Amino acid sequence: MYVLKMYLEYLRYIIFSQKIHKLEPGFLMDFAKNCVYAKPDKKKYSAIEDTRKELLKNEKTIKVTDYGQGAKKVKKQKGSYPLEYNRKIKKIAKNSLKSQRECLFMANTTNYFKPSVILELGTSFGITTSYIADANPESEITTIEGCANTSEIAQNIFNSHGYNNIKLVNSDFDTALPEYIKNNPEINMGIIDGNHCKSAVLKYFDSLTKNISDDGFIIIDDIRWSLEMMEAWKIIKAHEKVTLSIDLFSMGITFFNKALKKEEVMLLF
């Protein structure tokens, strides 16, 4: 069922997604040009990509404490929460991290909007976090990761690259998010990239919308990870505070700017 739905979704995306040369001048066109299709200098991020390469070669096994859905390929014991399993670092790096192309999009977007306050749910080894920290060193980034061993690797990576605009919180989202929302009345950029379960993602999204600034935005990753995630994305787009929503197939971006009309757009990525 999921495979068939994905196939149909992809066809629909290819046919109906907007192409840059057909966009009218305005916010959407600027976003497409500066964030989706801009070609940043890859050399700027070569040190982070070297770190990714090292992770992809790392044969060491770590004990993962997983507060989310677990990787698709991991056998899950029913009833145990959080899930605990051993996994090679190279396997986590291969399956959990955003691709270089997606990371460059994240960096472009951070560089273009220059959000002062960024919250990321789901650090893993911090590759995406590193890109956005590099893209705008002025941004104050908080990233939350539930697994202690994964967090330790991410923290070492941040230290070795000298990112001092990242605060890593090792906690499950349910504990850390309410506290973060209480202490941060204005969030300019939110990233939801962990626990890809419909009810959880909707809950995190709803919490973030309470403090998202008028010119802020929330990026939801893996909107087609499962049938549940596809349903969650539909509900998120219809949320009363969301005006423009942009579907890049693997990720969705929601804007809250009241000056924008309520519109659902698919952009070829």
Residues that bind ligand SAM (CB under 6 A): 66-68, 96-98, 122, 124, 127-128, 144-147, 150, 172-173, 193-195
Q: Which residue, 28 or 219, has its beta carbon nearer to ligand SAM?
A: 219
Shortest gap between Cβ of 120 and ligand SAM (angstroms)? 6
Q: Which residue, 244 or 251, has its beta carbon nearer to ligand SAM?
A: 251
Shortest gap between Cβ of 135 and ligand SAM (angstroms)? 14
Residue 234, token pair as written in the block? 């539909």
Shortest gap between Cβ of 22 and ligand SAM (angstroms)? 30
Q: Which residue, 84 or 215, has its beta carbon nearer to ligand SAM?
A: 84
**193 close to 232: Cβ distance less than 8 angstroms:** no
Shortest gap between Cβ of 157 and ligand SAM (angstroms)? 10
**175 close to 65: Cβ distance less than 8 angstroms:** no
Distance separating alpha carbons of residues 205 and 223, to the nearest angstrom: 13
Q: Which residue, 64 or 246, has its beta carbon nearer to ligand SAM?
A: 64
Contacts 24+ apart (CB under 8 A), 5-11: 5/227, 5/230, 6/224, 9/224, 9/230, 9/249, 10/249
Q: Which residue, 97 or 236, has its beta carbon nearer to ligand SAM?
A: 97
CA nearest 212: which of 110, 102, 116? 116
Shortest gap between Cβ of 34 and ligand SAM (angstroms)? 21
Shortest gap between Cβ of 106 and ligand SAM (angstroms)? 8
Distance separating alpha carbons of residues 255 and 269, to the nearest angstrom: 18
3-state secondary structure of 237: helix
Q: Which residue, 117 or 141, has its beta carbon nearer to ligand SAM?
A: 141
Buried b (16+ CB within 10 A) or exposed e, 92-109: bbeebbbeeebbbbbbbb
